[in-house]
């Protein structure tokens, strides 16, 4: 069995084998979830000896209603802020409800056994990798003050933020795929008044062009001004560079100067990358 076979089994595109279920339980155990691993083995009817057993799984009735039900978190028949492989009704209420981040936190603290029974398989691996279920951000935001600002972490955060390049382009600010509200700290309430205040405090992030100093104001911060009699208000406008200055700046640099481009002035909107 290969990686893509395991992926297909995890998403229900392919019938799982006892080998897959036994290896899933072993992975859970290695990730410090021995209680959940044992419960997963018992529910699937496998043991560690089934690793290598390619017989079809005998597990019946996962309860998932569709493909989207598998990727929207909350376990079978529900959606949620986290992925779950088992029934979450012990702490989530009636089928069809959204299992909020607060419900998961309360279950971890007050109902650890019930919470452990909802973990296992691809759901646990997805949580450990830091991914968030499809639609969970909108659901959590819809709870208002009762919602929690959830987000990705680990490798899930790396992909959601498009890596180091994406982080640089955004100026270090999280994207809307990394958090419900990028300007609100992870774990904080999504109270609308607080969210509005934090968004206003954050202000506008400088654009990539501004941070690279490629906008016109950086070409010549203090240009000489000339009197413009053509305008009705007789305003002052920046003077164009003199031909002598252009020729001088086309000269090759010496010493420790770095020559990148011949012109350093804002000529017709073109700004060079040259520096002295």
DSSP letters for 153-218: -HHHHHHHTTHHHHHHHTTTPPPTTTBSSTTS-TT-B--HHHHHHHHHHH-PPPPHHHHTT-SGGG
Least confident of 178-182, 195-199, 212-216: 212-216
What are the residues facing 225 on neighbouring strands? 238
Residue 14, class by beta-carbon neighbours within 10 Å (0-12 exposed, 13-18 middle, 19+ buried)? middle
Tell whether the model's pLDDT for residue 276 goes beyond 90.
no
**What pLDDT digit, counting tens, does each position of 247-267 carry?**
565 555 555 554 444 444 444
Helices 18-30/3-10 angle, 10° precision:
90
Q: What is the mean pLDDT of the chain?
A: 78
Hey, how many other C-beta atoms are within 10 angstroms of the C-beta on 1? 12
Provide the 10 A C-beta neighbour count for residue 264: 20
Q: Which of 77, 68, 108, 81 is closest to 190 using CA atoms?
A: 81
**H-type helices in 111-143, by residue range?**
112-116, 121-129, 136-142
**Nearest CA among 88, 159, 79 for reference residue 118:** 88
Q: What is the pTM of this model?
A: 0.57
Q: Is residue 187 very low, low, confident or very high in pLDDT (cuts 50, 70, 90)?
A: very high
In this predicted structure, the answer to whether residue 272 has a pLDDT above a threshold of 60 is: no
As a whole number, mean pLDDT of residues 22-31 equals 83
Which pairs from 257-264 meet CB under 8 Å and 24+ separation? Answer: 264/219
Render pLDDT for 54-104 as a digit per residue (tens, 0 to 9).
888 876 555 677 788 889 999 888 999 999 988 898 898 787 889 999 999
- What b/e string do you get for 191-217 counting C-beta neighbours within 10 Å, with b at 16 or more? eeeebeebeeeeeeeeeeeeeeeeeee
Between 217 and 72, whose confidence is greater? 72
Helix (H, G, I), strand (E, B) or coil at 126: helix
Which of 21, 86, 28 shows the shortest CA–CA distance to 55? Answer: 21
Which residues does 151 contact at the CB level (< 8 Å), separation at least 6?
A: 132, 157, 174, 178, 179, 180, 186
Q: What secondary structure letter does DSSP report for 238?
A: E
Cα separations (Å) of 176 from 45, 65, 188?
41, 28, 16
């Amino acid at each position: 069995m290969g990686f893509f076979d395991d992926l297909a089994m995890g998403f229900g595109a392919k019938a799982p084998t006892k080998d897959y279920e036994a290896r899933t339980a072993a992975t859970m155990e290695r990730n410090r979830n021995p209680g959940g691993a044992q419960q997963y083995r018992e529910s699937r009817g496998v043991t560690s000896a089934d690793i290598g057993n390619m017989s079809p799984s005998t597990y019946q009735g996962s309860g998932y209603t569709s493909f989207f039900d598998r990727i929207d978190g909350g376990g079978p028949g529900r959606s949620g802020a986290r992925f779950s492989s088992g029934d979450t009704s012990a702490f989530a209420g009636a089928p069809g409800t959204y299992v909020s981040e607060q419900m998961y936190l309360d279950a971890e603290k007050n109902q650890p056994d019930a919470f452990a029974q909802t973990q296992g398989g691809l759901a646990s691996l997805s949580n450990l990798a830091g991914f968030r279920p499809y639609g969970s951000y909108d659901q959590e935001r819809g709870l208002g003050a009762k919602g929690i600002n959830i987000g990705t972490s680990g490798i899930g955060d790396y992909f959601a933020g498009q890596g180091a390049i994406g982080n640089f382009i955004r100026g270090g600010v999280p994207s809307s795929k990394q958090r419900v509200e990028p300007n609100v700290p992870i774990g904080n309430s999504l109270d609308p008044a607080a969210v509005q205040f934090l968004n206003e405090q954050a202000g506008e992030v400088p654009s990539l062009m501004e941070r690279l100093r490629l906008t016109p104001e950086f070409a010549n911060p203090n240009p000489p001004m000339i009197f413009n009699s053509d305008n009705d208000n007789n305003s002052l406008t920046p003077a164009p560079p003199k031909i002598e200055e252009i020729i001088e700046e086309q000269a090759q640099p010496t010493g420790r100067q770095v020559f990148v481009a011949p012109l350093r002035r804002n000529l017709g909107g073109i700004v060079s990358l040259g520096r002295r």
